[in-house]
Amino acid sequence: MTKFETRAIHVAQDPDGRTGGVIPPIHMTTTHKQDGVGNLREGFEYNRAGNPTRQALQEALAALEGGRFGLSFSSGLAAEDAVIRGVLVPGDHVILANDMYGGSYRLFARVYVPWGITFTIVDLNNEAELEAAFVAGKTKMVWIETPSNPMMTIFDIAKVSAVAHKHGAVAVVDNTFATPYLQRPLELGADIVIHSTTKYLGGHSDVLGGAVVLNDGELAKKIEFIQFAVGAVSSPFDAWLTHRSIKTLALRMDRHCFNAQSVANYLETQTGTVSAVYYPGLESHPGHDIALKQMDGFGGMISFKLVGGIAAAKKFCENTRLFTLAESLGGVESLVNYPAEMTHASANGTPIEVPGDIVRLSVGVEHISDILADITQALDKI
Ligand SMILES: *Cc1c(COP(=O)(O)O)cnc(C)c1O
């Protein structure tokens, strides 16, 4: 098999057969001509079931994660919904981690609990706590997000997946923060990988999307059925944009990693204003050793805690100039976020509530000296 960077550029991107266009056209169509009733061309009929541009993206996603099946959705949460409804039925139980994306928590707590799913929140790094959370005959899924959003906790994918399998549950990994360039959960024993491709895979803050990649044919059929029957698919244009962006993923991630490590190192020296820095590339990070083992780099996301508490955190967020105050992450431009009132507002009052003195940075690929200068001037304003 060719290397990651090569697959990112060439899988399902053969020049157009008819015209030789080096980039395949966007198939902006909802339906395909049949050469006789049920006599389909390459299996295409109605495009909720399949579209050539989406199919190309799905093949690329599978190739990057090293999985057999890739499915593309209109958002990360749509991808999660297809996995959850494909795998679980009312009455089932799920184990969640004590730090995760607020929207994923909201999906379980506000959509699936009324639908008859129950969940337990544990520290997935605490094996005794994890073991004790399984409900015999009912626990069907363990949900792992690593590095987690926003506290950058690292969970051991191989270890947690093995425990899940021992109890007959599937291990799902939200690989949004790491991307397949830095972490491939299927190789580590997980069953299903999900992504918000809105973030690093899309990489330019201009297209929403989600992905599911897995190896098991039976599970793939169930999730693909939800994709088809419910219909939260990527549009051809969204699929094309995402596929185009994937071609530079490796280049972008190398720079995100370099810039974020530099910022984390710098923040750790600012002990007058910064009381803690959460970045798995720091030796001081409790998950550093596991990250070294299961990741090929530490990514572009950092969270940190301010000595001055909530007021200082908000002041920092409102005084950056290069870092734009906005939700989302993973784009080429640097963003700053105040999780407690922005991305994780829905987690307030829940077991995964984010403290108010935390700031989250999505470190972009601008020049590092401009990035550091902006952080310095914003810290000076506190
Ligand atoms: C953004 C995000 C999601 C949700 O994806 P959408 O594309 O916004 O629906 C899920 N998981 C993580 C870790 C995220 O950051």
DSSP secondary structure, 74-89, as one string: SSHHHHHHHHHHHH--
- Is the pLDDT at 60 greater than 90? The verdict is yes
- Please give the backbone phi and psi of residue 148, each rounded to the nearest 5 degrees, phi first: -85, 155
CA distance 146 to 174: 7
Average pLDDT over residues 91-118: 96
Distance 108 CA to ligand 1 centre (A): 14
pLDDT in tens, 341-358: 999 998 899 989 999 999
Strands 274-278, 335-337: pairing kind: unpaired
Q: Which residue has the tokens 């706590």?
A: 129
Give the model's pLDDT for residue 3: 98
Which is the closest atom of ligand 1 to the Cα of 209?
A: 7
**Ligand 1 pocket check: which of 72, 77, 177 to mutate, most ligand atoms within 8 Å of Cβ?**
77
Q: Are 363 and 353 in contact (CB under 8 A)?
A: no
Is the CB of 55 within 6 Å of ligand 1? no
- What does the pLDDT read at residue 253? 99
Q: Is the pLDDT score of 211 beyond 90? A: yes
Please report the sign of the dihedral spanned by the C-alpha atoms of residue 148, residue 151, residue 156, residue 159: negative
Bridge partners for 95 per DSSP: 120, 142
Q: Does the CB atom of residue 125 touch ligand 1 within 6 A?
A: no
pLDDT number for residue 1: 82
Distances in whole angstroms, Cα of residue 5 to Cα of each of 25, 180, 203, 243:
22, 11, 16, 13
Residue 306's pLDDT band (boundaries 50, 70, 90)? very high
Q: Whose CA is nearest to atom 1 of ligand 1?
A: 196
The tokens describing 25, both together, are 């056209």
Mean pLDDT of 166-172: 98
Residue 290 Ramachandran class (φ > 0 left, ψ -120 to 50 alpha, else beta): alpha
Non-local (6+) Cβ contacts of 104 within 8 A are 77, 80, 143, 145, 174
Tokens of 116: 């008859």
The answer, yes or no, to whether residue 218 has pLDDT greater than 90, is: yes
pLDDT at 346: 86
- The atom of ligand 1 lying closest to the CA of 100 is 13
Domain borders along the chain are: 4-246, 250-380
Question: What tokens does 255 get?
Answer: 């720079």
Sheet holding 210-214, edge to edge: 69-73, 210-214, 192-196, 170-174, 139-145, 93-97, 118-122
Candidates 99, 176, 242, 360: which one to mutate for ligand 1, based on the most atoms within 8 Å of Cβ?
176
Task: Say yes or no: CB of residue 82 within 6 Å of ligand 1.
Answer: no
pLDDT band of residue 303 (cuts 50, 70, 90) is: very high
For 230, the 3-state DSSP assignment is helix
- What pLDDT is recorded for position 308? 97
pLDDT bucket at 260, cuts 50 / 70 / 90: very high
What are the tokens at 167? 């109890």
**Given the CA of residue 330, which atom of ligand 1 is nearest to it?**
15
| The domain over range 4-246 is classified in CATH as 3.40.50.300 | no
Round the average pLDDT of the chain to a whole number and report it: 97
Q: How far apart are CA 334 and CA 242, in angstroms?
A: 19
b or e along 280-295 (b: 16 or more beta carbons within 10 Å of the residue's beta carbon)?
Answer: bbbeebebbebbeebb
Indicate which atom in ligand 1 lies nearest the CA of residue 177.
13
What percentage of residues in the chain have a pLDDT greater than 70?
100
- Across the range 230-242, mean pLDDT stands at 98
The residues carrying an active-site annotation are 48, 101, 174, 199
pLDDT tens for 7-54 read: 999 999 999 999 999 999 999 999 999 999 999 999 999 999 999 999
Q: What is the whole-number distance in angstroms between the Cα of residue 28 and the centre of ligand 1?
A: 26
Which tokens go with 209?
Answer: 């999307």
Q: Cβ(77) to ligand 1 under 6 A?
A: yes
Fold of the 250-380 domain: Aspartate Aminotransferase, domain 1 (3.90.1150)
pLDDT at 190: 98
Q: How far is the CA of 92 from the centre of ligand 1 (A)?
A: 23
Does residue 356 line the site of ligand 1, with CB under 6 A?
A: no
What is the reported pTM?
A: 0.97
